[in-house]
Structure 1
Amino acid sequence: MKLVILGGGGFRVPLVHQSLLSDPGRIVDELVLHDLAGDRLRAIRAVLDQQAAGRAWRPRVRATTDLAEALSGADVVFSAIRVGGLHGRCVDERVALAQGLIGQETVGLGGICYALRTVPVALKIARKIAALAPDAWVINFTNPAGVITEAMSSVLGDRVIGICDSPVGLCRRVAGALGLPFQDLRFDYLGLNHLGWLRAVWAGDDNRLPELLSDEAALTSFEEGKLFGPNLLRALGAIPNEYLHYYYFRRETLQQMRQQHVTRGQFLRTQQQSFYLRVEDAPDVALRTWQATRAERDSTYLAEARAVAGAEERQACDVDGGGYEQVALALMAALMTDRPSTQILNVRAGGAVPGMDENAVVEIPCTVDAKGPRPVPVATVDHHSLGLMHQVRAAERAAIRAATTRSREQALYAMVTHPLVDSVAAAERALDGYCRAFPELADLARFR
């Protein structure tokens, strides 16, 4: 089968290639990397070639800057683009912080601005896929993943599926804390992308989550337990996705972010600029350079949240939670080989979540086979979770409307109704700042 990666010059592409090399089923025999930046493609190709050195088998790898050439005849398309690059992420963060608001790339104002830039591009890609590879499955991990998946589903329907490694990472860490095999458990997880809760862990007919919540040593032995603390977790009766730290500790996290010399985006931009330059200068050690850069990247993930929680550096169990490449490969295997599995995915709710409309993209366990994912119905949703989901979904849908209709009013509505925004005036100043920074948003400016 032919797998296409859009954003094929991206830093994390070697993770996907490594998973393909280790796949005993060898379901991908052709891998096509598409990117607009030829220099990035060359750097990643060098890493991939060194990953495959000495292997008896590897998929055929091609790289191209021609989108039509890449997509034609594709069986599966991974969408991993970043509109505006890491410079755009830095602007998303800094404009929000200047107004005393959180601007993380998928959360709050940063996520909304990122969506305003990305939705039009994602829709163009979706229409191109519909024309050139109508039977392809599209696996989206372009952020903000839930928003982009919902936008693309307006063109591709249920053939676009969003993925994220945060939920499965959380589930693996909880299984480890309980001392139970991950593969023997069922997980009741519910939410939106980067806004979810693990509500139960079933071992047969027994929910083992209460046992974990009552054991403070086990509860604080993994990342989410350290970030949120046992008091909050027991009050919730659930383990939140790590990104909910921005909601539950908004004041402290904002203070920490404003004290840091560089934002996460600035750190990654500097790190990746250095990586690509070093590979260009010394392509013969591209793999070793990539490995060292990746280790530094993983160890500094969510640094501001750990600083607020007073947590030490990330432990092996926190880093090795099961990356997005493993999630993608498991999903692709179920779709292409018709071997059913249960996975936490971003899909249209289709009536599976009480209180959420059928077309809303939710993050929920699904049964997957060659027919695609089918959400596992949820019995009940507590008022707190459903209320926060509704608030964030309303803001995200307004962002989609703003991106497609070029409406300033909808863009402002998306910002002022987000639960991490507490000032209309600050949101409007931030919107003006984004319009000045990004030419593609100029038509949303207050004065045109």
Structure 2
Amino acid sequence: MQTLTILGGGSAYTPGLLQALIAHAGELPLTTVRLYDTDAGHLAIVARLTSAMAQQANAFKVEVAPTLEAAIAGADLVLNSTRPGGLAARRIDESLPLEFGLPGQETVGPGGFFFALRSVPEALRVAAVMQDLAPDAILLNYTNPSNIVTQALVNRGGVKVIGLCDQSDEDLLALCHALGRPARYTFRCNGLNHATWYSDVLIDGTPLAAHNAPLAPPEDYDDEHKLRFELSLALAREHAGYWPNSYLPYYLFPQAFVAHARRVGPRSDVVAASLDRYYAHFEAEGKRARPELKFFRGSAGFGDLAVTAIRALASSTPHELVLNLPNLGATASFAHDTVVETRVRVSSAGIERLPAPHLPTSFYGLAKQLERYQRLTAKAAAGGDHQARVAALAANPLVGKPLLAANMINQARASYPDWPKAGA
């Protein structure tokens, strides 16, 4: 496990990832980290900074690959963290559904469907190159919507794939902060990515139900995250012993998010402004002899989860992680080959699935709807025709009707500058 390739290496998340890799370099056999990105300008800024960071720490070598093929050839690990279409497409993902009275969100609902139509073909292209040029490599998928992209890769076969998402850690950290407790927690989980339920939750060694402190969203949360927390709390009170993934309320309280989005505008606009500031900071730091990088994300962010997975894969000691993988008997709630989000043990010897807890009974119907949507969308995004896309979008619980799905797809075809061709 000497060469790690990062696709989307020009992302503002990459310096945080590299800092986490450097912090654990003594545990990792990495000698080379390759960066590849279609945005040459951002890639140059990030490469200059991360090269200086690695050199200063006397860690691995950071290099830039000129093509996807050069980036992947001979790699041991490939981390796919790309965003096909960029923030311009994300803005449409978030705004187009609102025209139909549905939540505009980049992974949930129609926005996630349109994102999948861009992300899945690119991920399958990566898998094809890996099969030719790095057949023994492991693909770590961080590209959203994670469950659909990972499902499409599993359906294709030919490469070893692990789906990553840090939402469970983010949700449990929010609980710790709300309770005023240290960031120490354990839990079990079952469900699909962004539609999981946590159970057997211990916060600082004490069952969640035994904590008597009033729960309120962390003060540093923005309005959207506060809304998600408050609605998650409402769901938890209705399902004793469980806490929901904070994206689940989108499906159960859609109009609350429609109203919020119409009031504050697309989240992508806020992200774009933040990224401009970070790239300016990265460029300045990259020119310093000894750069001092500030984390882009918190302690449960992109860098930490990816590095935790890489450390686990390199270790003879099993690490317990929450990953997105084919079910293979972890839970009776979903089909054998459906990609689920569940707790596993990971080591250099492989991945062991742990038995998942039961889902709340009232959620089972929605879970089966979301499973069907995930599987249909993975196939439609991989090369389905117009009717396959309509059927897949109609299967999303927030859409539900073929006529509405067809109207949304027609509107999308006119809105996205690079609308993907059916069957491509």
Unaligned runs of 5+ in 2: none
Q: How far has the Cα of 1:442 moved from its partner? A: 5.8
Q: What amino acid maps onto 1:265 in structure 2?
A: S
Q: What amino acid maps onto 1:438 in structure 2?
A: Y
Residues 233, 18 of structure 1: alpha-carbon distance in 2 compared, 3 angstrom cutoff: same
Residues 230, 243 of structure 1: alpha-carbon distance in 2 compared, 3 angstrom cutoff: closer
Aligned to 2:408: 430
Aligned to 1:364: 342
What RMSD in Å do the two structures reach over aligned CA positions? 3.0
Distance, in Å, in 2 between the alignment partners of 1:136 and 1:283 is 30
Distance, in Å, in 1 between the alignment partners of 2:275 and 2:309 is 28
Aligned to 1:307: none
Q: How far has the Cα of 1:398 moved from its partner? A: 1.6
In the TM superposition, what are the counterparts of 1:278-427 in structure 2 within 5 Å? 284=287, 291=294, 294=296, 320=298, 322-421=300-399, 424-427=402-405
Aligned to 2:196: 196
RCO higher in structure (CA 8 A, sep ≥6): 2
Check the 8 A contact 2:334/2:371 in 1, yes or no.
no
In the TM superposition, what are the counterparts of 1:253-264 in structure 2 within 5 Å? 253-260=257-264, 262-264=265-267
Check the 8 A contact 1:47/1:287 in 2, yes or no.
no
Check the 8 A contact 1:20/1:28 in 2, yes or no.
no
Aligned to 1:267: 270
Q: How far has the Cα of 1:7 moved from its partner? A: 0.8
Of 137-146 and 370-379, more deviation after overlay is shown by 370-379
Distance, in Å, in 1 between the alignment partners of 2:279 and 2:137 is 31
Check the 8 A contact 2:120/2:382 in 1, yes or no.
yes
Give the one of 202, 215, 220 matched to 2:216.
220
Of 1-10 and 233-242, more deviation after overlay is shown by 233-242
Check the 8 A contact 1:279/1:285 in 2, yes or no.
no
Check the 8 A contact 1:347/1:362 in 2, yes or no.
yes
Check the 8 A contact 2:152/2:379 in 1, yes or no.
no
Matched residues, number: 412
Structure 1 or 2: more helix by fraction: 1
Residues 353, 68 of structure 1: alpha-carbon distance in 2 compared, 3 angstrom cutoff: same
Of 428-437 and 82-91, more deviation after overlay is shown by 428-437
Distance, in Å, in 2 between the alignment partners of 1:210 and 1:278 is 43
Aligned to 2:137: 136
Q: How far has the Cα of 1:88 moved from its partner? A: 1.0
Distance, in Å, in 2 between the alignment partners of 1:29 and 1:2 is 6
In the TM superposition, what are the counterparts of 1:93-242 in structure 2 within 5 Å? 93-156=94-157, 159-174=160-175, 177=179, 179=181, 182=184, 186-201=186-201, 208-212=207-211, 215-217=212-214, 219-220=215-216, 222=218, 226-228=229-231, 230-237=233-240, 238-242=242-246
Distance, in Å, in 2 between the alignment partners of 1:105 and 1:173 is 21
What are the superposed Cα offsets for residues 122-160 of structure 1, whole Å, 9 maximum, x if unpaired?
111111111111111111100001111111123446721
Of 279-288 and 59-68, more deviation after overlay is shown by 279-288
Of 403-412 and 338-347, more deviation after overlay is shown by 403-412
Q: What amino acid maps onto 2:44 in structure 1?
A: R
The DSSP-based 3-state class of the residue aligned with 2:419 is: helix
Give me the TM-score of the superposition, normalised by structure 1. Answer: 0.83
Distance, in Å, in 2 between the alignment partners of 1:443 and 1:103 is 23
Distance, in Å, in 2 between the alignment partners of 1:233 and 1:146 is 23
Of 137-146 and 223-232, more deviation after overlay is shown by 223-232
What are the superposed Cα offsets for residues 195-252 of structure 1, whole Å, 9 maximum, x if unpaired?
1111112599x9713213xx242x3365789432644322122211121232233111
Distance, in Å, in 2 between the alignment partners of 1:290 and 1:111 is 32
Q: What amino acid maps onto 2:243 in structure 1?
A: I
Aligned to 1:249: 253
Q: How far has the Cα of 1:440 moved from its partner? A: 5.0
Unaligned runs of 5+ in 1: 299-319
Q: What amino acid maps onto 2:379 in structure 1?
A: R
Distance, in Å, in 2 between the alignment partners of 1:289 and 1:155 is 42
Residues 200, 257 of structure 1: alpha-carbon distance in 2 compared, 3 angstrom cutoff: same
Of 143-152 and 323-332, more deviation after overlay is shown by 323-332
Q: How far has the Cα of 1:267 moved from its partner? A: 2.4
Q: Does 1:46 align with 2:42?
A: no
State, as a whole percentage, how many aligned pairs show the same letter: 27
Distance, in Å, in 2 between the alignment partners of 1:85 and 1:228 is 30
